[in-house]
Amino acid sequence: MLSVIVGLIAATVILLSENIAIEASALAVFAVIALVSLRMSSNKNDIEPQPIEIPLCEQPNIQKAFRENESSYESMTKRIHSLDSAIRNSTQTLSSSFSGLGSTSNQTNHLINEVMALVASSQSAKTDNDEEHISVEKFASEVGDILGQYVALLVDVSEKSVQAVHFIGDMVNELDQMFALLVDIRTIAEQTNLLALNAAIEAARAGEAGRGFAVVADEVRKLSQDTDSLSDQIRVRAEKTKSTVTEVRGIVGAIASMDLNNAINAKGHVDSMLQGLEEMNSSISSTMDQLNSLNTEVNHHVSTAVQALQFEDITTQVIADISKNIHVLDAVNNQLGKICETAKIKEDDSHLIERLNEILMVERRPHSHEEPNRASHNEGEIDLF
Amino acid sequence: MPVESTLSSDGKTLTINISGRFDFEIVQEFRNAYAEHKDVDYIIDMRATEHMDSSALGMLLNMRKSLGDSAKVSIINCRPQIKKILTISRFDKKFDIE
- Among candidates B83, B63, B54, which has minimal Cα distance to A152? B54
- Which string of DSSP letters, residue by residue, matches A14-82? HHHTTT-HHHHHHHHHHHHHHHHHHHHHHHTTT-SS---EEEGGG-HHHHHHHHHHHHHHHHHHHHHHH
Checking if the pLDDT of A71 tops 70, the result is yes
Residue A23: per-residue pLDDT: 64
Q: Which chain B positions have a beta carbon within 8 Å of A254's beta carbon?
A: 24
Phi and psi at residue A345, to the nearest 5°: -130, 145
Q: Are A65 and A336 in contact (CB under 8 A)?
A: no
Least confident among A11-20, A208-217, A271-280: A11-20
pTM above 0.80, yes or no: no
Regarding predicted confidence, which is higher, A71 or A376?
A71
Q: Which residues of B touch A (CB under 8 A)?
A: 23-24, 27-28, 31, 52-55, 57-59, 61-62, 65, 81, 84-85, 88-90
Regarding predicted confidence, which is higher, A377 or A279?
A279
Q: Which of A161, A162, A264 sits opposite B85 (nearest CB)?
A: A264
Please write the tens of the pLDDT for every residue from A119-171. Answer: 777 666 545 455 555 677 788 888 888 888 888 898 999 999 999 999 999 99
Residue B19 DSSP class: -
Residue A162 touches partner B, C-beta closer than 8 Å: yes
Q: Which of B28, B55, B85 sits opposite A257 (nearest CB)?
A: B55
Tell me which chain A residue has its CA closest to the CA of residue B64: A159
Tell me which chain A residue has its CA closest to the CA of residue B25: A253
Mention every residue, 6+ apart, whose C-beta is less than 8 A from residue B77. B45, B46, B47, B98
C-alpha Rg value of chain B to the nearest Å: 12
- Which string of DSSP letters, residue by residue, matches A100-114? HHHHHHHHHHHHHHH
Regarding predicted confidence, which is higher, B66 or A59?
B66
Name which of A150, A158, A259 to mutate to probe chain B: the one with the most chain B Cβ atoms within 10 A of its Cβ. Answer: A158
Name which of A166, A173, A245 to mutate to probe chain B: the one with the most chain B Cβ atoms within 10 A of its Cβ. Answer: A166
Tell me which chain B residue has its CA closest to the CA of residue A163: B62
Checking if the pLDDT of A7 tops 70, the result is no
Tell me which chain A residue has its CA closest to the CA of residue B53: A259
A159–B57 C-beta distance less than 8 A: yes
Residue A253 touches partner B, C-beta closer than 8 Å: yes
A197-201 contacts, C-beta under 8 A, 24 or more apart: A197/A221
Q: Are A276 and A167 in contact (CB under 8 A)?
A: no
- Rounded Cα distance between A264 and A270, Å, is 10
Q: Count the Cβ atoms, other than its own, within 10 Å of residue A71.
A: 14
- SS3 state of residue A281: helix
A97 to A44, A68, A92: CA distances (angstroms)? 69, 42, 8
Name which of B31, B50, B55 to mutate to probe chain A: the one with the most chain A Cβ atoms within 10 A of its Cβ. Answer: B55
A253–B55 C-beta distance less than 8 A: yes
Average pLDDT, chain A: 80
Mention every residue, 6+ apart, whose C-beta is less than 8 A from residue A12. A24, A27, A28, A31
Q: Which chain B positions have a beta carbon within 8 Å of A169's beta carbon?
A: 27-28, 31
